[in-house]
Structure 1
Amino acid sequence: MFNDTSSPLSLLRTRRSARPRDLVEPGPDATQLRQILEIAMRTPDHGKLHPWRFVHVPKAQRGAFASLLARAYAAQRPDAGRLEIEANERFAHQAPELIAMLSTPVESQKIPRWEQELSAGAAMMNLLHAAHALGFAGGWVTGWVSESKLVLEALGGRDGDRIVGFVFVGTPGVPLEERPRPDFDEVVSTWRP
């Protein structure tokens, strides 16, 4: 393992996002990937609706995924330049493992859509923590591909669903950088009536 996961607090303090382009082999094996996803599913889910889905895009299917991205991008930007097209090809082939996450809200009289969307975000964060706990790193990416209806449908999404993002998982090929964190007093306050 490349990180200090000797305690739960240490694990939480040391998790960093990785640039997908910097993630290399080894990635999680099938057993580890299943464990990561099972941990991701242990998220707050008011009403037990599990309003999210994970879609694994295995290495063997990355070429087909790249073709999907090319079609979707061309539909949105028919005049795309060579660099844009190449960037989408690289996106599809980054990192050892790729997982797309969908927010799939369920019609409910008791559980607002907003709570269900928050649950999807929490599941994505659990996925990143689980990958870190197993000694890997992950990068959560959105961008145009997360807004594409064609990509959403190809991933099994329906009307009302959204792509939460794509998580790339692997071993960091370069040291992970610590990004600036907000000042405590800037984001934490104590309510006083």
Structure 2
Amino acid sequence: MTNPLALLQHRHSVPSRQLGEPAPDEATLQALLETAIRVPDHGKLVPFRLIRLHDEAKRVFGERLAAIAIRNNPDLSEAKLAKERGRYTFAPLVMVVVARLHADSKVPEIEQKLCAGNVAYNILLGAYALGYGAQWLTGWAAYDREVAGILGLADNEHVVGFVHLGTPQIEVPDRDRPALADLSSTWTP
């Protein structure tokens, strides 16, 4: 009998720099994303959406981020500027997971953000289950409103993460994990 928890026990992120072609093909990506959006959603608000960055769009996005970075910090080194330009070019596909917050809802914003976060995590899990690699990254661009404007986000929308997808180019060793005993307790009245 196979271990039904094996997927969760072995899932790990692959650094975006180590993700290459191929990305999931269109049919596989469609199935992955349709599965990823099956998340707990208190109030059925669908407080998330997805934006795909691939091909030339990744390079242009990086160029625009580099322009913002240099405006915000004119003394930015050439090495850091190059890092900004290339940050989204390694993996063949980047999915931007966006939280769409409904301020008029009785559902607290934190629950709406967590719902969107679950979408990002489901993309990671699904990619691993399909034999692909993925890494969920944020960085300054996830929190910058000018970047939000580049992505066409409304005032109530925020980047939850950039999920980089592709095929692992190296074998990634698992990292040390915390001991459950250090994190778990039983509450008693």
TM-score (structure 1 length as normaliser): 0.92
Unpaired runs of at least 5, structure 1: 1-5
Q: Which residue of 2 aligns with 1:52?
A: 48
- For the 8 Å contact 1:103–1:163, the answer to whether it is kept is yes
CA distances 1:139-171 after superposition (whole Å, capped 9, x unpaired) = 011111112211111112122322111111111
Q: Runs of 4+ in structure 1 displaced over 3 angstroms?
A: none
Partner Cα separation in structure 2 for residue 34 and residue 154 of structure 1: 24
Q: How far is the alpha carbon of 1:7 from its aligned partner?
A: 5.6
Give the deviation of 1:117 after TM superposition.
0.8
- Tell whether 2:167 aligns with 1:181: no
Partner of 2:69: 73
Q: Which residue of 2 aligns with 1:138?
A: 134
CA distance in 2, matches of 1:90, 1:77: 18
Instruction: Mark the CA change 1:112 to 1:94 in structure 2 (over 3 Å): closer, same or farther.
Output: same
The structure-2 alpha-carbon separation of the partners of 1:137 and 1:192, relative to structure 1 and needing over 3 Å to count, comes to same
State whether residues 102 and 156 of structure 2, in contact with CA within 8 Å, keep that contact through their aligned partners in structure 1.
no
1:190 maps onto 2:186 in alignment: yes
Per-residue deviation at 1:43? 0.6
Is the deviation greater in 43-52 or in 141-150? 141-150
Give 1:118's match in structure 2, choosing from 114, 119, 130. 114
Pick closer, same or farther for the CA change 1:32–1:8 going to 2, 3 Å.
farther
1:1-193 to 2 correspondence within 5 Å? 8-193=4-189
Instruction: After superposition, give the CA deviation of every residue in 1:119-149 in whole Å (9 maximum; x if it has no partner).
Output: 1111111111111111101001111111221
Structure 1 distance, partners of 2:146, 2:71, is: 9
User: Aligned AA for 2:186?
Assistant: T
Q: Give the distance between the partners of 2:32 and 2:104, measured in 1 at CA.
A: 28
Shift of 1:76: 1.8
Aligned CA-pair RMSD: 1.4
Quote the offset at 1:63 in angstroms: 2.2
Alpha-carbon distance in 2 for matches of 1:69, 1:48: 34
Report the secondary structure of 2:51's partner residue.
strand
Contact 2:97 2:119 in 1 (8 A): no
Could you tell me whether the CA contact under 8 Å between 2:63 and 2:84 is conserved in 1? no
Alpha-carbon distance in structure 2 between the residues aligned to 1:143 and 1:11: 27
Letter in 1 for 2:46: H
Indicate if the aligned counterparts of 1:136 and 1:169 stay in contact, CA closer than 8 A: yes
